Structures are given as C-alpha cells and as structure tokens.
Amino acid sequence: MSRHSIIGIDVGTSTVRVVVAEPRAEGATSSFSVLGYGMAPAAGMRRGAVVDVSATAGSIRQAVEKAAQHAGVAIDHAYIGFGGSGFGSIMAKGIVAVSRADGEISEADVTRAHSAARANLPALANKEILQELVVQYAVDKESGTKQPVGMIGNRLEAHILYLTAFSPHLRNLVRAVEAAGISVDDIVPAPLASVYATITKHQQQIGVLHLDLGSETATCAVYEEGSLVSTQVFPVGSTHITHDIAIGFQLPVEAAEAIKIAHGAVAGEEAMFRREMVHFGEFAPHIPLTVSRWDLAEIMEARTADIFELVEKYLRRMGRAGLLPAGVILTGGGARVPGLVEFSRRALRLPAEVGTIHILDPEHELAGDMAWATAVGLAGLMCGTQEKSRMNTFVPKKIGEHIMRFIRPFIP
C-alpha cells in the first residue's frame, strides 16, 4: 500500500464503511482526495458496539476488500472511529494561581490547570479517555478566553471536555479490526470525524447541533464559539422505526425496511398522503395489504417524535433549547427520511437541514450521502496538510498511543 494512503473505517451497527484517501500537496483546494471506498452489511453489532468479534471481523474484511479493489491498493492498517452506546463525555474544571510575580500566564500555568481539571474528574470505572478538548479558559473569572498564554491575571481556569470510551466496547472493536487483518493506526471519536466532514467553522462558532441518526443510536454534539461543549448518545435510531412498521402492519422486518425506504416519511400534507397508497404485496407477496402513505407516516412519526423529545430535553438541560443560531445539521443514514427537516424544525424550534460532506468536492458521489460522513471524516481528518492547525483542535498528536497501550495487553 502507498505510504501516503490514509484509511478510515466506520464500523456502524448496520453497515461497515471504509474510505481510502490520499493527502494532496499543500495549497490544494482540498487537503485530500478519495481513492476508493467500500461497504458491507455489519454483523455482530448492537447499538454501535461489537457483540460478536468473529462476525464483525468478517464484515470489516468484506468492506476492506471492496475498498481495496476500488482504490487499487492493499489495505493492512487504518484509523478507526469509535462511537455508539459506549461513547460519552465528562466536563471538568481546573483552577490554579498564576505562578509569575508579574501575573503573566505561562505555558506551565496552562499545563497545571489541565492537570487540575483531570484530577477533578470523577472515578472513570471501566472507561478510557479518548480525547481531551478545551472548551474555554477563564482568567480572573472572565470566561471565553481561547489562548491565555501571555495574558495578565491572578487565577486561571481551564474548562475541559473529556471524550470517553467504555473499555470493553473499545477492546472488542480493536479485537474485531485486528481479527480482520487490519492493524489500528489510531482510535478517533466518531462524532468528531463526522463533524469535521459536515460542519463548517462558522457554524461551530455561532452555535450548532450536529445530530447523527444511526441505525440504533442518535448522537448529539453541540458546538459554540468554535468548541465542542457537550455530547450525548441516545440508544434509539432508525432501526427502531423499522421495527415499529413491522409490528404495526405485521410485516417481516426486511419488508418493513424496504417499505420505509421506498415510501416512508415523517411529515407531509395529510390530504395528499391519504390519497397515496402503499401496496405491501410489492415487498411481501404473501401480504396483499394496501394502506395509505399517511398510515405509514403516522407510525414513523411516533418513534421519530420520541427521538426528538430526547434531543429537546437534552438541549433544555444545557440551556440551549431554541438558542443555536446555526440550527440542526442532520447526518447519518436516518437523515434521509423525507420530511425530517420540517419535523426537526417543529420539534426543536431551530433551523434544520440535512448536511453535506463539505470536505469533498460537491460533485463527488459521496458528498450528499450522510451515511458516509464518519468514514470520509476519518480519512480526511487524518490526511490534513493545510488543515494541520485545525486538526490539533480535534485529534492531538499520538492520541491513540495511550489507548493502544492500555488495550493491547487484553487482546490475545
């Protein structure tokens, strides 16, 4: 494999996606180009976590083989996204007195503030810190400072967001990847990769909610003033909508999924939807039932309302309900449901749109498919050349070395 090729693997609940990228020369319009990609149905996964290492390894192997064939390279190592139900975050604050007599804040003061924040973390039972992100600094209680070195003050506060991984989920993911014949270059928080691919710096600055609707999880990431301020994963996703359709109309799950994709919606004009008919016999020949598209939409809307109620309560707890000017950017495979943007606007009282993968050329075939946001974001993030300064915001150097040192002894 070319030493310049960067591979990102997104192991999702329903699909494994692999993207092969290559850094472009400094000064190019984009920091990377996509050489190829591949995908395969995911097996052995539940709510974003590996529950059958062998089955998941087989799915990873299939997706990698397709990507390798498409890109024309051999693949034996990759960057891996970590998300799902085992992903979380904890906020901590560290306060120190400025050490210099003249009150000028030094790098050493910042380091001590970071150490104080880590010391204030609660016990992390069965959790590993994936990443440490600065939300803000405060000098003499004046908040909003991004770079305190060189400022004058008596007291420095560091507000740090720690992104965490449930240790058993992390170990099982690495075991599955390595069982597929792939060595792990690094572990990257999946929400950061997706945000990198889909949210602009301006949106992050003015305030935005990134909502990734996956198969069995919904992941929220809130940005303000250019920093990630909170994340939350809810154990519900688009697969639950499929199950509701299957139960509501007594359909096989496979038929329910096909009907959802072909005719599903969560918002629309009632009179028109009542006239449009869905013939189940086209998807399940032994079930010659016909219902209106409105009946289907009602079932889908009920579960979607549950998801957005959780999101709205989360924003309310943060004090951000209805207060994010850039609104909601919808990503993930579940973002493709017709009417979801309108539904989101009503439910969250915020502007809403389905995202695009803006780090790709607009004409690229993956640019409008939000299911690929994490995999593309992983590859693009790690390819960063002209984006090096921005990369430091997301992925500190050698972030994975500590993680891999921790979990390798547990892997046979």
CATH (residue range 86-164): 3.30.1490
Note the pLDDT of residue 397: 40
Note the pLDDT of residue 269: 83
Helix, strand or coil for residue 299?
helix
Mean pLDDT over each residue of the chain, to the nearest integer: 90
Q: Percentage of the chain surpassing pLDDT 90? A: 83
- The bridge status of strand 127-139 relative to strand 142-145 is antiparallel
Helix, strand or coil for residue 105?
coil
CATH 3.30.420.40 assigned to domain 201-356? The reply is yes
Note the pLDDT of residue 394: 38
Is the full-model pTM beyond 0.85? yes
Note the pLDDT of residue 386: 34
- pLDDT per residue as tens digits for the range 370-383: 999 999 999 999 98
Note the pLDDT of residue 1: 45
Note the pLDDT of residue 384: 74
Helix, strand or coil for residue 369?
coil
- Which pair of tokens denotes residue 291? 């219902």
- pLDDT per residue as tens digits for the range 182-194: 999 999 999 999 9
**Residue 389 CB-half CA count within 13 A:** 2
Contact 302, 308 (CB under 8 A): no
Contact 138, 159 (CB under 8 A): yes
State in Å, rounded, how far the first CA of the chain is from the last one: 26
Note the pLDDT of residue 268: 79
Band (403; pLDDT cuts 50, 70, 90): low
Residue spans of the domains in the chain: they are: 86-164, 201-356
Tally helices (H) and strands (E) across the chain: 13, 18
Note the pLDDT of residue 124: 87
Task: Tell whether the model's pLDDT for residue 107 goes beyond 90.
Answer: yes
Band (260; pLDDT cuts 50, 70, 90): very high
Length of the chain: 412
Mean of the pLDDT values across residues 75-88? 95
Band (4; pLDDT cuts 50, 70, 90): confident
- pLDDT per residue as tens digits for the range 316-356: 999 999 999 999 999 998 998 999 999 999 999 999 999 99
| 24 vs 16, higher pLDDT | 16
Mean of the pLDDT values across residues 98-115? 95
Q: What angle do CA 403, 89, 301 make, to 5 degrees?
A: 120
- pLDDT per residue as tens digits for the range 201-226: 999 999 999 999 999 999 999 999 99
Note the pLDDT of residue 101: 94
Mean of the pLDDT values across residues 61-82? 96
Lowest mean pLDDT among 61-70, 142-151, 187-196, 301-310: 142-151
Contact 84, 169 (CB under 8 A): yes
Task: Tell whether the model's pLDDT for residue 404 goes beyond 90.
Answer: no
Note the pLDDT of residue 28: 54
Note the pLDDT of residue 121: 94
- Alpha carbons 243 and 54: distance in angstroms, whole number: 26
Task: Tell whether the model's pLDDT for residue 407 goes beyond 60.
Answer: no
Task: Tell whether the model's pLDDT for residue 409 goes beyond 90.
Answer: no
Mean of the pLDDT values across residues 25-53? 87
Q: Which of 258, 311, 307, 298 is nearest to 281 (CA)?
A: 258
Lowest mean pLDDT among 67-71, 218-222, 259-263, 394-398: 394-398
